[in-house]
Amino acid sequence: MTPVCKHIAFTVKAEDDGMRIDRFLAGHMPEMTRSRIQKLIEEGCVLSDNSAVKASYKVKVDGKISVSVPELKEPPIMAEDIPLSIVYEDDDMLVVNKPQGMVVHPAAGNYSGTLVNALMAHCGTSLSGINGEKRPGILHRIDKDTSGLLLVAKNDVAHQSLAAQIKAHSLTRAYQALVHGGFSADTGTVNMPIGRSPVNRKKMAVTMQHSREAVTHYRVLERLEAYTLIECVLETGRTHQIRVHMSKIGHPIVGDPLYGVKKEAFSLNGQLLHAYKVGFIHPRTAEYMEFTSPLPDYFQKILKNLRNL
């Protein structure tokens, strides 16, 4: 049987003239790994002006690039009886406190043990279907090794209301993070666009190419010798936003395996970043609601040790 393919087309712009085809596609298809792109090229799925090309091919201005991407067969998403820390729940939504180490929604390599698997067991069919079967009810996400509060919609009306608040930047999302170094000012704003790193496709970066606006407001909560505990409030919600912004301004988050320092003084399983506050207008009652979550024990233990130095 011939595999079902998704066909994607691009027209080469002047700023991309002379770029290798694999780099060109990596910049225009950030959801796809470099190895996957190279495999598609090897299999003849990438054409330039209707002719198959090699990875070394350099695109030409106004050239027509087409990519045929075979649809991957994915396993069905199963409900799993995984304990959930539920901060709030009603007929329309939940506020869940996600532990460090839990993936939010299934993806390649993580089709079980995710927050979605747990939600399907807890809620049954009572989850918004707007984001499809892999992300039912999910409005926003936090990284696997970031802990904290997430909103989950139980129906499409609630989903649309909360998603509109996220889009309008009216939904409160505040984090606490322990970062390296000290700040000269107590408050500040990082306004730098974020996109897929042109060097490492597993990372995001501050870049002007294929990027989106990203704004993070920060405030010093406590100064601890070589470290600082800060609050970060998101105006936008880009992938790895706080981690990328803090690293870019010279204050990487402690324990961050992607954007942090190579040698840490602490033994950690991920970055010390916690989504501790979320606030929103309830989609049914129109009342403002706000919830907070204390820092996880491992986070508090490190702060206690630093305070005793």
Give the active site residues: 143
Dist. CA 305–CA 308, nearest whole Å: 5
Dist. CA 34–CA 202, nearest whole Å: 9
Q: By the 8 A CB rule, do 61 and 55 touch?
A: no
Q: Which two structure tokens, joined as six digits, stand for 24?
A: 């060109």
Q: By the 8 A CB rule, do 85 and 99 touch?
A: yes
Dist. CA 186–CA 202, nearest whole Å: 32
- Start-to-end CA distance of the chain, whole Å, equals 67
Dist. CA 130–CA 19, nearest whole Å: 37
